[in-house]
Amino acid sequence: MPAFCDLCFPGGPITPVPPINANALQLLVVDDSAMVRQVMQAILSTDRRIVVKTAADPIIAWGKMQKERPDVVITDLEMPRMDGLTFIRRIMAEMPLPVVVCSGLAARGTELGLRALEEGAVEVITKPKVAVREFLHESAVTLVDAVWSASQAQLRPRMQPAPRLTADAVLPRKSQASTFAAPRNVIAVGASTGGTEALRVFLGALPTGCPPVVIVQHMPEVFTRAFAERLNKECAIDIAEAKNGDRLRDGLALIAPGNRHMLVNRSGDDFVIQILDGPLVSRHRPSVDVLFRSVAISVGAKAVGVIMTGMGDDGAEGLGEMKEAGAITIAQDEASCVVFGMPKEAIARGAVDAVMPLEQIARAVLNLQSRSCANSL
């Protein structure tokens, strides 16, 4: 019978390479499945800058952490002796450090994953599909990127937006007609690490009559739907996971489904969503670059582009294309980012018109859109 890694990696087994220096990133993987620990260690150890250690449950992990503090922890959520949420709370209370949740995609796990982000985890990623060869390259990209992204995260307390009550709290709204006027403008947003919190603050500040918002948040499939449903309960505007053929309208924000690219296309006077498969673009699917390029082509100068917290450069090129098409472009500032990578890269490329704190972006976007509408009259 072939060795375990022969089954997992096309081309034969991968032997972990020792770190090239003493300053390597120290990673602790916590999962009760020996197979998952083995696969993750094999994948992550191919990066010579990472030293991977493992633990079978949070109790064992906590003991190891007392002896040697890791730089990043990857943890499952459903484990013996202590569940993952309790483990994350303990880490944040007694030894704050970046935590990445590695979870399956069951419906129950989805809700737990979102709760983990609220408790302080910086990323939620999908467990490697150990029996699917074609998944392993993308799995390696996701795991390595998540670890390095987490290692750069600035841990900060959860921000609480001001309550936004509407008449819905007393009287249900009347059913809306199925026809909507085509929007004059479109707001396109890209985010990654730390973006779930940033989007909660941004979307929570938008009024019901705001221009439509299209969003790429790097997040696994299924999680995006639960994330959109949760935001929809908290915010004044309507928020949903995007579906192929959705038409943009004022007061609606659409979030790209995990593991699918999202585009905005023009159809007559309307803007329509297209959801499609495709390769990783800028190391991601969905990709912010893909969304921003489609907005540059279809919406042009009537758009505003916003690049938020996240590691890497996804969105930098697309934001530049939006700017060249006449759109106004905004980047979240370093102080309010969990990871400043994506905004920093966009700024360095000259793709950004304005840099500002997260709390100011919604107001700035609305002001810019109001001026654009006035100028078009």
- pLDDT reading at 244 higher than 90: yes
Q: What is the spatial distance between Cα 46 and Cα 35, in angstroms, rounded to a whole number?
A: 17
As for how many domains the chain has, the answer is 2
Active site residues: 192, 218, 314
pLDDT at 243: 97
135 and 270 inside one domain: no
Per cent of the chain over pLDDT 90 is 59
What is the residue range of 81's domain? Answer: 4-151
CATH number for the domain that contains residue 118: 3.40.50.2300
Q: Which of 103, 131, 151 is the last residue of a domain?
A: 151
Average of pLDDT values for 285-297?
95
Decide if 138 is inside a domain: yes
- Higher local confidence (pLDDT), 162 or 247: 247
Residue 328 near residue 368 (C-beta atoms within 8 A): yes
Decide if 165 is inside a domain: no
The predicted-structure confidence for 165-180, as pLDDT tens digits, reads as follows 444 443 344 444 334 4
- Helices 107-119 & 195-204 angle (0-180, nearest 10): 80
The predicted-structure confidence for 58-117, as pLDDT tens digits, reads as follows 999 999 999 999 999 999 988 889 988 999 999 999 999 999 998 765 445 577 788 888
Q: Which of 100, 132, 151 is the last residue of a domain?
A: 151
- pLDDT reading at 211 higher than 60: yes
* CB-based burial label for 336 (10 Å; 0-12, 13-18, 19+): buried
Decide if 169 is inside a domain: no
108 and 146 inside one domain: yes
Decide if 161 is inside a domain: no
Decide if 354 is inside a domain: yes
pLDDT at 137: 65
Q: What are the structure tokens assigned to 57, written together?
A: 């449950």
> For the stretch 58-86, what's the b/e string if a residue is b when 16 or more beta carbons lie within 10 angstroms of its beta carbon?
beebbeebeeeebbbbbbbbebeebbbbe
9 and 98 inside one domain: yes
pLDDT at 132: 46
For residue 285, name the pLDDT band (cuts at 50, 70, 90).
very high
287 and 198 inside one domain: yes
pLDDT at 156: 65
pTM attached to this predicted model: 0.76
For residue 262, name the pLDDT band (cuts at 50, 70, 90).
very high
pLDDT at 43: 87
Residue with tokens 């399956």: 104
CATH number for the domain that contains residue 208: 3.40.50.180
Q: What are the structure tokens assigned to 348, written together?
A: 């360095």
56 and 193 inside one domain: no
- pLDDT reading at 317 higher than 80: yes
35 and 133 inside one domain: yes
140 and 195 inside one domain: no
Instruction: Show Cβ contacts of residue 176 under 8 Å, excluding neighbours closer than 6 positions.
Output: none
Q: Which of 129, 151, 173 is the last residue of a domain?
A: 151
pLDDT at 153: 87
87 and 133 inside one domain: yes
Decide if 176 is inside a domain: no
For residue 46, name the pLDDT band (cuts at 50, 70, 90).
confident
- pLDDT reading at 38 higher than 50: yes
What are the φ/ψ torsions at residue 112 (nearest 5 degrees)? -65, -40
